[in-house]
Amino acid sequence: MEHGVYVVCDGMGGAAAGEIASSLAKDETLRAITERLKSTPLAEAADQAISQANEAIFSRSLQNEKLSGMGTTLVILVAEDRRAWIFNVGDSRCYRLRKQHLEQITLDHSLVEEQVRMGRMTSAEALRSPLRNVITRALGTQSIVTPDVFELEAEPGDLFLLCSDGLTRELPDPTIEHLLSADFSLDQLCANLINAANRAGGQDNITCLLVRAA
């Protein structure tokens, strides 16, 4: 992992709106990061690009009634040499597998997960809650968004997973840890995660992306 930008977005909003929001988010952030990189350090470029993507989605939603209220989650990993930054808005996640130990890096911006962190609900209750779809922060639903940022030092062999809630709703962390610890190519590991999530119910669309630190 010398220098890279990796993005997962999971759109929300009726009909096609969610898809428009997520593809706008991905295209805008990638474009804006690339454009800024010549003059701006990577992490700062990513932060600015996220604001720009947020504005693009928000203004688009104001122009078209059918797109009103659309938004998307966004989790981005940017890396330069050994340093990695993860930006997060919403309930898609970033995990790191290091020496077969899985650690969730991001915190979900969801009503139930916030209740869990405050000790008002258990994880099991959160999974069953009728409010489990309520996201407390999203890209494109307001004029300004503040992503969480996590900065970390990557070690050779570290495996980063970016994924939508379609994966993590179906597979508990120990299962993800077990599947990712197997000695397969990244493509095969991704396929194994998606197959397992589909076998477990596959209630939602599933996006996952794996990045290995060299």
The residue ranges that bind Ca ion (CB under 5 A) are 10, 164-166, 204
Which residue blocks in 99-152 are alpha helix, DSSP H?
111-117, 123-128
Residue 13 or 166: which CB sits closer to Ca ion?
166
CB of 48 or CB of 198, closer to Ca ion: 198
Minimal distance, residue 166 CB to Ca ion, in Å: 5
DSSP state of 49: H
Q: Smaller CB distance to Ca ion: residue 154 or 176?
A: 176
Question: Residue 36's CB: how many other CB atoms inside 10 A?
Answer: 18
What phi and psi, each to the nearest 5 degrees, are found at residue 210?
A: -120, 140
Closest distance of CB 115 from Ca ion, Å: 19
C-beta closer to Ca ion: residue 114 or 202 = 202
- Nearest CA among 121, 123, 126, 22 for reference residue 75: 22
Nearest to Ca ion of 47, 165 (CB atom): 165
Residue 189 host element (H or E) = helix 186-199
Distance between CA atoms of 1 and 16, rounded to whole angstroms? Answer: 34
CB of 77 to Ca ion, least distance (A): 19
* Residue 207 beta carbon to Ca ion: minimum distance, rounded to whole angstroms: 8
What is the nearest approach in angstroms of Ca ion to the Cβ of residue 133? 8
Spatial distance between the Cα atoms of 180 and 176, rounded to a whole number of angstroms: 6
- Rg for the chain, CA atoms, rounded: 17
174, 156, 193, 178: which is closest to 8 by C-alpha? 193
93 contacts: CB under 8 Å, gap ≥ 6: 75, 104, 105, 106, 108, 161, 162, 163, 165, 168
Name the residue nearer to Ca ion (CB basis): 37 or 200. Answer: 200
What's the min distance (Å) between Cβ of 86 and Ca ion? Answer: 19
- Do you know the residue count of the chain? 214
